[in-house]
Structure 1
Amino acid sequence: MGITYQIFGMRPDKLFNRLLVYGGSVVVLFYILGPFLWLVSSSFQPEQNLLDRDGSLFPTEWDFTAYRELLTGFLYDASSGIPYQARIFLRSMLNSLIVAGGVAVLSILIGSVAAYPLARMKFKGRNFLMFFILGTRLIPAIALAVPFYLMVKAVGMNDRLETLIVINLSFILPYVIWLLQAYYRSIPMELEEAARIDGCSRLGTLFRIILPLSLPGMVSTGILAFLLSWGDFFFALILTQSQSSFTSTVVASMFATDVDVKYVSIICAGVLSVIPPVSFALIFQRYIMSGLLSGAAKG
């Protein structure tokens, strides 16, 4: 009978596999978080230190000037010397919240109803319709830039947040419909059949049975819609012309001009812009995980 050696209460092969998994996880974690950690660290450094060839990864001299300008700039006018971009940054963050929140709410309201017949009803051309809806997302945004701009300008809706909401919704809604119909299919059909036997209509079944059970899936897809619209830069850049409609991505890019590039201000704007979506993800992480896993289990 051979002797089995154990290290830390485990066989060597199991210990090696576990160390391999943990080591790989640490490498992936640093790969993902590394750029963001550098971003946060650089945001507290003076501009000169950041551009110095011998600069340090961690601040040797802490500087909060850029954060102070971005967070309190709205209190000052042009005579204060604070850059115009910093004075309108918080307003642009509010605009981004309005656009992303509007897209998230509308995509759930529309997508939750549109996904139901695709998941539960059998009709001719259903599969084609499903792939057509998702296929519309294959059209690159740049191919639609000129048509969208001309159409928006013709109806007098340029430089308005409502326009950004509608355009972002047109790109994100196919994702929402596809994800929700997959989640609906994970709900046992017996529950819906029991409701129909009790005299509930299809519409009543949707609102009384399907939607309440689909809350995790709706929250997860709503967060996804929020994140996708929050990071929009392309259409926000070409369709906004004033501070009343600038989003945070546009204002952050305005720190780079033909004369100067304020790297620290751009970095600070990036750090502040990450806070809302990360906060939403942390608050609703339970719904996000259960929604994605339940939808994938049967979809």
Structure 2
Amino acid sequence: MGMKIGVIGAGVMGKGVAQNLAQSGHNVILIDISDAILDQARTELLTNIRFSGFYNKDAGAEDPDTVLSRVMFTTHYDSLGDADFIIENVPEQWQIKKEVYEQLEQYCPESCIYLVNTSCISITKVGAVTKRPDKVIGVHFMNPVPLKPVVEAIQGYHTSERTILETRELLRTMGKEAILVQDLPGFVSNRVSHLLMNEAAFVVQDQVATPEDVDDIFVKCFGHTMGPLRTADLIGLDTVVHSLDVLYETYQDPKYRVCPLLRKMVDAGLLGAKSGQGFFEHVIF
């Protein structure tokens, strides 16, 4: 029998997490700040569930409407009184995250475990604004969530062994392995990948190579599925810049300084896949 899981934030990651959970038999409460955002999420979720059968025959075995019926869409937190887990996916801005956890503390049962879907923000810092730091753990999902078999799990200073075990079990039901790392902002994936994307942007800025040639070297020479600049486009150049700014601020280390070309592109509205143009052109559906 599935568990009851609150998913906070119905953006790209939140929708992916909700889909993965619903297709794994869990009941989902998907929360965002407006009905308009939730209506769009409902439409996109149904489409993504219908298409998932093309990539995964098991995922496509169940009727899409049945899967979607496991997702409740709401702007209120008062449905979380018996939630087993929370998976929080709001933007990587401390004030927004802090307010979310203050709200969660008012509604969630003491037994509820908080999964912080973050790529940069300290799990220990999140735990400190709750009364349950032992039940706060980082889980950095990769995009697209339903197709990625591994997540980066982050142990905060107070995260308990029981929380780690229960989180691993939840992720196992979603078809995912958790690789446990320790809590320093950026963890493993973002500390390394964002340096790579940023330096690739410097290479283009310095006119050493075109974006196509930079990515071809990584795909054809190193066997990467996707080059660093197309990856940056997929993530969103604005998101990449913000993450680099957080890393720079946290470590006070100049190696995280944002490539001026990246910031200029963001200022120009060239955000990558979501705007239709970044280092590459993208079709917007």
Structure with the higher strand share, 1 or 2 = 2
TM-score by length of 2: 0.25
Q: Which has the higher helix share?
A: 1
TM score, norm. by length of structure 1: 0.24
